[in-house]
Structure 1
Amino acid sequence: MQSWEGVCEFVAVAETDSFTAAAKRLGISTAQVSRQVGALERRLDTKLLYRTTRKVSLTEEGSLYYRHCRQVLDGLDEAERALSSLKGTPQGLLKITAPVAYGEKYILPIVNDFMLNYPSVDINVELTNRQVNLIDAGIDLAIRIGKLADSTLMAKRISQRINFVCASPAYLKRFGEPHTLSELSQHNCLMGNHDYWRFIDQGSERQIKVAGTLQCNTGHGLRDAALKGLGLAQLPNYYISHDLETGALVPVLNSYQEPNEGVWALYPHNRHLSPKVRLMVDFLAAKLP
């Protein structure tokens, strides 16, 4: 069994280019990763990694050893998934990441329902608006919204979101309702992370630069400002669906509304989909509105 010691740590460092990131992936200390990899190099009598203060990279021998180790670990994963499939019950740890607001409102309640149905699965959920690298962070499943960047990840569309430009009745009574995109320059536009809004105009996508007295990186803050009559806001339906139903916010420029955006489940492409990931993706697709 000594020949296995340090292999997982070495592979994690090779795939993340960092002892710290490898330790985070494996859930152990950086010092432990360093000790295990050092012991592995001494046992093999081969330098596997170049170490500098800025970067960790593979030596030629390390690159060769990594390829073989990766194949062995993939085979072990396949064996464990095969056993799990035979048992018919998903089990083990499932790591998920999702956007904060969407995750709080939709993903977490469904995850909790999933755990009631599959008590043998432990789940670790990280809500963040950062684009987490699934491979480096050891994430099994990511929920992403909107257009996807090209990647080696597999993607399945599990729901959709709709963006609305809206305002309070009080704001519209005071400043009037815009009917064309050019009229946006005459209004106080409450901005999120970007200073432009997206629309469809005569079949083509357009990005319209907007300006206003508030820029805020949270949809809850923009919703509150719109409700208080501070200006127009462009927000996804999951922030304002109740406000639109009650009339607290009024949608405008509906004829320019962009097509519905996809809500996607992303997972690594390099291995077959494990039973617990497959079940979670199907569960989300069935439960999401």
Structure 2
Amino acid sequence: MQRWDRIEAFVEVVRLGSFSAAARHLKVSTSHTSRLVSQLENQLGIQLLYRTTRQIRLTDAGTIYVEHCRHLFDGLRDAEQAINELQARPSGLLKLTAATTFGERFVAPLVNDFQCLHPELEVHMHFTNRAVELIDEGFDIAIRMGVLKDSSLIAKRLCERREYIVGASDYFRQAPRPHTLAELNQHPCLLGSRPFWLFEVNGQRREVRLEGRWSGNSGPALLDAALKGLGLAQLPDYYVAPYLESGELVAVLEPFQHHDTAVWAVYPRHRHLSPKIRQLVDYLATHLEAQLPGRR
């Protein structure tokens, strides 16, 4: 502990520019502060400061030593701030974006529950299927699905997500079930917002580009087309789970199902993550799974 006190005295003398200012900050006498720095120099066996009646100046050794010591105190302050933030209640404005249907059905109710627990929080939710630029557009969190692109953003997995190739049971009374990806060309394929379907072949991601006579950027519309027997569609489990259970839809090509299409909370990298972001992400990770059909 003596060594720590000596280091702290030295760092504060350098930071504040004088022994008297450092002493006031440390709430000790100037002579005690000077003595601590002298003891540190004796301990290290090298001079750290040039002292005159008007100013102090770092020696070469002092310059090197203070740079390393500052990290110790920065780390201590970071640790104290992290503990304080852990105990803090979420407050202020929180801006969140998510895909329209998923956000409205599954994310919004949980965010509303979270705000009920933390009435000091102001929430702004924006639902769009457009890829929002979080930092440029001032959002705190985005809920994203599927395989994420590499970026400087932090991503936390909230729950698993599986995509199924499905067709109506009535459709398969007239058409054979495909067993290979090549057989997809024999079926009318219903396309969503992307021009390909995602599969996993021999442990590798594969994008299969398809053409069809139906396309749309709405999950519910795509589901409706599949239920009405217009062709095959690739849809996530939370859309199709009730219909697979009832038998209205039939899943095919399951051996080629991609296994890394989770639901993610994505947010900018911060040195200190605010309580509102950290606690909401933890809340979603705890409760989202139970919201989705077929997961209870």
Once the two structures are TM-superposed, the CA of residue 87 in structure 1 deviates from its matched residue by 7.0
TM-score w.r.t. length of structure 1: 0.68
1:51-98: CA deviation from partner (whole Å, max 9, x where unpaired): xxxxxxxxxxxxxxxxxxxxxxxxxxx9xx889848732211111111
Residue 141 of structure 1 corresponds to 141
Residue 153 of structure 1 corresponds to 153
Residue 226 of structure 1 corresponds to 226
| SS of residue in 2 equivalent to 1:206 | strand
Aligned CA distance change for structure 1 residues 148 and 195 (closer, same or farther; 3 Å): closer
Q: Quick one: distance in 1 between partners of 2:149 and 2:234?
A: 23
Aligned CA distance change for structure 1 residues 130 and 271 (closer, same or farther; 3 Å): farther
165-174 vs 197-206, which moves further = 197-206
Aligned CA distance change for structure 1 residues 163 and 83 (closer, same or farther; 3 Å): closer
Aligned CA distance change for structure 1 residues 203 and 152 (closer, same or farther; 3 Å): closer
Task: Give the partner amino acid of 1:97.
Answer: T
Pairs aligned (count): 210
Residue 237 of structure 1 corresponds to 237
| SS of residue in 2 equivalent to 1:283 | helix
Q: Quick one: distance in 1 between partners of 2:208 and 2:170?
A: 24
Task: Give the partner amino acid of 1:105.
Answer: R
Task: Give the partner amino acid of 2:243.
Answer: D
| SS of residue in 1 equivalent to 2:173 | helix
Q: Quick one: distance in 2 between partners of 1:83 and 1:138?
A: 26
Once the two structures are TM-superposed, the CA of residue 148 in structure 1 deviates from its matched residue by 2.0
Q: Quick one: distance in 2 between partners of 1:284 and 1:194?
A: 27
Residue 8 of structure 2 corresponds to none
Task: Give the partner amino acid of 2:120.
Answer: S
Residue 68 of structure 1 corresponds to none
Residue 115 of structure 1 corresponds to 115
Does the aligned pair in 2 maintain the 1:94–1:124 contact within 8 Å? yes
Does the aligned pair in 2 maintain the 1:84–1:90 contact within 8 Å? no
Q: Quick one: distance in 1 between partners of 2:139 and 2:115?
A: 18
Residue 127 of structure 1 corresponds to 127
> What are the within-5 Å matches in structure 2 for residues 165-244 of structure 1?
165-244=165-244
1:145-169: CA deviation from partner (whole Å, max 9, x where unpaired): 1222222211211112100000001
Does the aligned pair in 2 maintain the 1:222–1:233 contact within 8 Å? yes
> What are the within-5 Å matches in structure 2 for residues 274-289 of structure 1?
274-289=274-289
Q: Does 1:272 align with 2:288?
A: no
Once the two structures are TM-superposed, the CA of residue 194 in structure 1 deviates from its matched residue by 2.7
Q: Quick one: distance in 2 between partners of 1:143 and 1:84?
A: 27
Q: Quick one: distance in 1 between partners of 2:143 and 2:84?
A: 24
> What are the within-5 Å matches in structure 2 for residues 7-22 of structure 1?
none
Q: Quick one: distance in 2 between partners of 1:179 and 1:102?
A: 30
Q: Quick one: distance in 1 between partners of 2:255 and 2:246?
A: 21
Residue 7 of structure 2 corresponds to none
Aligned CA distance change for structure 1 residues 111 and 104 (closer, same or farther; 3 Å): same
Does the aligned pair in 1 maintain the 2:86–2:275 contact within 8 Å? no
Q: Quick one: distance in 2 between partners of 1:141 and 1:84?
A: 22
| SS of residue in 2 equivalent to 1:104 | helix
Identity of aligned residues (%): 47
Q: Quick one: distance in 2 between partners of 1:152 and 1:181?
A: 34
1:5-59: CA deviation from partner (whole Å, max 9, x where unpaired): xxxxxxxxxxxxxxxxxxxxxxxxxxxxxxxxxxxxxxxxxxxxxxxxxxxxxxx
Does the aligned pair in 2 maintain the 1:163–1:260 contact within 8 Å? no
Q: Quick one: distance in 2 between partners of 1:175 and 1:256?
A: 20
Once the two structures are TM-superposed, the CA of residue 239 in structure 1 deviates from its matched residue by 1.4
1:186-230: CA deviation from partner (whole Å, max 9, x where unpaired): 101111123321212232222222222101111111100010011
Does the aligned pair in 1 maintain the 2:82–2:272 contact within 8 Å? no
Q: Quick one: distance in 2 between partners of 1:83 and 1:260?
A: 34
Q: Quick one: distance in 1 between partners of 2:204 and 2:260?
A: 14
Does the aligned pair in 2 maintain the 1:84–1:275 contact within 8 Å? no
| SS of residue in 2 equivalent to 1:266 | strand
Aligned CA distance change for structure 1 residues 142 and 194 (closer, same or farther; 3 Å): closer
Largest Rg, 1 or 2: 2
Q: Quick one: distance in 2 between partners of 1:86 and 1:200?
A: 40
Q: Which runs of 4+ in 1 moved over 4 A?
A: 81-84
Once the two structures are TM-superposed, the CA of residue 260 in structure 1 deviates from its matched residue by 3.6
TM-score w.r.t. length of structure 2: 0.67
